[in-house]
Amino acid sequence: MLAIRGLTVAFGRRPPAVRDVSLDLDAGQRLGIIGESGSGKTATALAIMGLLPEYARVTGSIRLDGTELVGLSDREMSGLRGDALSMVFQEPMTALDPTMTAGRQVAEAFRLHRDRDVGRARTAVIDMLAAVGFDDPDRIADSYPHQLSGGQRQRVVTAMALVNRPGLVICDEPTTALDVTVQATVLRVLDEVLDAAGASCLFISHDLAVVSQLCSSVVVMLDGEIVERGTTEQVFHRPQHPYAAGLVATARLDLLEPGTRLPTVADHLRGAS
């Protein structure tokens, strides 16, 4: 359903942030994109959403269900955003408007694309909030962001992205800002609602362990390029590229003998060159 061919994103005169990236995503499939800060994974996500700043130059092709997204006007793109594709953001502390109740923010996307009626939007919002695991969706809907915890906010942000049951959901490090126990809850909820919606998912993270919980296949990005791709199994157990091998080594500290020095990604990269 999502087909990316030769995607390149450049900002000003600097070298491209994303270089010649090609990806395929089937309906219902979940693909993890792993890479460090600056590897181009967020730029790839924003390019798909059409949310890059105006001075960014995007070339190549992004097709969603056959529709070419590159070169679409902002108005046309607005019609798709929140409806055919949506995004779960990284920082639950800042991704919600402090002057609006959680319910109104979830309702915004619904009323834009589905039904302007306030009452029916409210019903949809309450259902969605219940789907992301709130026992008291009415109270949450009437709460302002500062009255909610980080994990609660992240679930509200997830509800915002999924209220219209989009075909494609892009998650940009949705659990990075949360502590580990809350992270587990949010991942479980995300897993459930993605399944329920039958949505495809691009899951962006720097955390191999998180990706392996949610995704069947993985690509690894380094300096704007895809350096490794395969099923989560393959990449986890038989990484080909030294950078990917380094990532796996740093993620699997449980395999390490006590007393040995902790591995770094640089060890593997140096060994390769």
**What does the binding site for another protein look like in residue numbers (CB under 8 A)?**
49, 51, 54, 75, 78-83, 86-87, 89-91, 94-100, 105, 108-109, 112-113, 157, 160-161
Through-space distance between the first and last CA atoms of the chain, rounded to whole angstroms? 38
To another protein, the closest distance from the beta carbon of 13 in angstroms equals 16
Nearer to another protein, 23 or 160 (CB): 160
State in angstroms the smallest separation of the CB of 77 from another protein: 8
**Residue 203 or 236 with smaller CB distance to another protein:** 203
Encoded amino acid at 60, one letter: G
- Whole-number minimum distance, CB 153 to another protein, in Å? 11
In the complex, what is the shortest distance from the CB of residue 196 to another protein, in angstroms, rounded to a whole number? 19
**Closest distance of CB 94 from another protein, Å:** 4
Least distance (Å) between residue 38 CB and another protein = 19
b vs e for 112-137, b when ≥16 Cβ sit within 10 Å of the residue's Cβ? bbbeeeeeebbebbbebbebbbbeeb
Q: Residue 53's CB: how many other CB atoms inside 10 A? A: 7
Least distance (Å) between residue 174 CB and another protein? 12
Radius of gyration of the chain (CA): 19
Cβ distance to another protein smaller for residue 49 or 244? 49
Instruction: Return the number of the residue (80 or 235) whose C-beta is nearest another protein.
Output: 80
> How far apart, in whole angstroms, are the C-alpha atoms of residue 198 and residue 91?
25
If you ran DSSP here, which 8-state letter would residue 153 be given?
H
Q: How far apart are CA 200 and CA 63, in angstroms?
A: 14
Backbone angles phi, psi at 40, to 5 degrees: 100, 5
Give the H/E segment covering residue 173.
none
Give strand ranges (E) for the chain.
2-11, 18-25, 30-34, 56-64, 67-68, 85-88, 168-172, 200-205, 217-222, 225-231
Burial label, 255 (beta-carbon count in 10 A; 0-12, 13-18, 19+): exposed
3-state secondary structure of 32: strand
Q: Pick between residue 81 and residue 122 the one whose CB is nearest to another protein.
A: 81
Closer to another protein at the Cβ: 96 or 189? 96
Q: Given the complex with another protein, which of 158 and 183 has the nearer CB atom? A: 158
